[in-house]
Amino acid sequence: QITLKESGPTLVKPTQTLTLTCTFSGFSLSTSGVGLAWIRQPPGKALEWLAIVYWDDDKRYRSSLQSRLSITKDTSRHQVVLTLTNMDPMDTATYFCARQLWSGSYPDFFDYWGQGTLVTVSS
Amino acid sequence: QSALTQPASVSGSPGQSITISCDGASSDVGAFFSVSWYQQHPGEAPKLVIYDVSHRPSGISSRFSGSKSAKTASLTISGLQAEDDADYYCASYTLNNTPLFGGGTKLTVL
């Protein structure tokens, strides 16, 4: 059974750094073709992909947030950590982690998602 | 990076069929078959309903189908049911080696 769960603060102040952890089970992030992504959704708005780390430790970031984002994996602990610096009220959103699988030669779909965690940025 | 373009809303009566479009570019939808669709009910996580343009994951009803023509992908839901009332998002891999989501479509089952 594959599960993912996000954890971290529910409230952060502007300019602070957000650190979120995705703890997963039922698969390994050292398996070829597997990635783990962070995706967020501001209240009432669309999904927005943020970052992903792949089995080979390759990492990709949303270009508009690249200077503020960092993603790391701890394969043995089955965890992926996302940090987002210099938080702003516009970063208020539900943050999801999701497993991505490669299909053929390209990263493909997100087949398992965590329940999401709402992070509010306010002083 | 702009989102893929979806209609803000669509609606249909139970039993009818609806189609949601997802307009992209030659750098994303037009370039890959890595197009997927997600269903999201309020307060819940998204759920994969279509991958690789037209494939259904195990457990997804055959009422859900997908297709693609040039830079536009489409999700069709036939025999609409009340439980299909949800938000739907498309996604595609891009030449930037990153994924891109659509702006989302709210489906209302009348």
At residue B88's C-alpha, the angle toward residues B83 and B91, to 5°, is 145
Contact call for residues A43 and A60 (beta carbons, < 8 A): no
Question: What pLDDT, in 10s, does the model give residues B4-49?
Answer: 999 999 999 999 999 999 999 999 999 999 999 999 999 999 999 9
Sheet holding A3-7, edge to edge: A3-7, A18-25, A79-84, A69-74
Confidence band, pLDDT 50/70/90 cuts, at residue A86 = very high
Summarize the confidence of residues A33-46 as an average pLDDT: 97
Contacts A111 to B, Cβ<8 Å: 48, 51, 57
- Taking only residues 85 to 104 of chain A, the set having a beta carbon closer than 8 angstroms to any beta carbon of chain B reads 96, 98, 100, 103
Nearest-CA distance from B36 to chain A in Å?
A: 6
Structure token digits, residue B77: 């839901």
Summarize the confidence of residues B40-64 as an average pLDDT: 97
In whole angstroms, give the CA distance from residue A49 to residue A29. 19
B52 with A110: Cβ contact below 8 A:
no
Nearest-CA distance from B17 to chain A in Å?
A: 24
pLDDT of A62 higher than 80: yes
In whole angstroms, give the CA distance from residue B62 to residue B56. 8
**What does DSSP say about strands A93-103 and A106-113: parallel, antiparallel, or unpaired?**
antiparallel
Q: What is the DSSP letter of A78?
A: T
pLDDT of residue A104: 79
Question: What phi and psi values does residue A104 have, to the nearest 5 degrees?
Answer: 70, -125
Task: Decide: helix, strand or coil at residue A76.
Answer: coil
Where does residue B4 rank: exposed (0-12), middle (13-18), buried (19+ CB within 10 A)?
buried
Q: What is the DSSP letter of A82?
A: E
Considering only CA atoms, which of A35, A11, A36, A39 is closest in space to residue A96?
A39
pLDDT of B2 higher than 90: no
Nearest-CA distance from A117 to chain B in Å?
A: 10
Instruction: Pick A49's closest partner by Cβ from B36, B51, B99.
Output: B99
pLDDT of B91 higher than 70: yes
Question: What pLDDT, in 10s, does the model give residues A2-35?
Answer: 999 999 999 999 999 999 999 999 999 999 999 9
Structure token digits, residue B92: 């595609």
Q: Is A24 on the interface with B (CB under 8 A)?
A: no
**What does DSSP say about strands A11-12 and A117-121: parallel, antiparallel, or unpaired?**
parallel
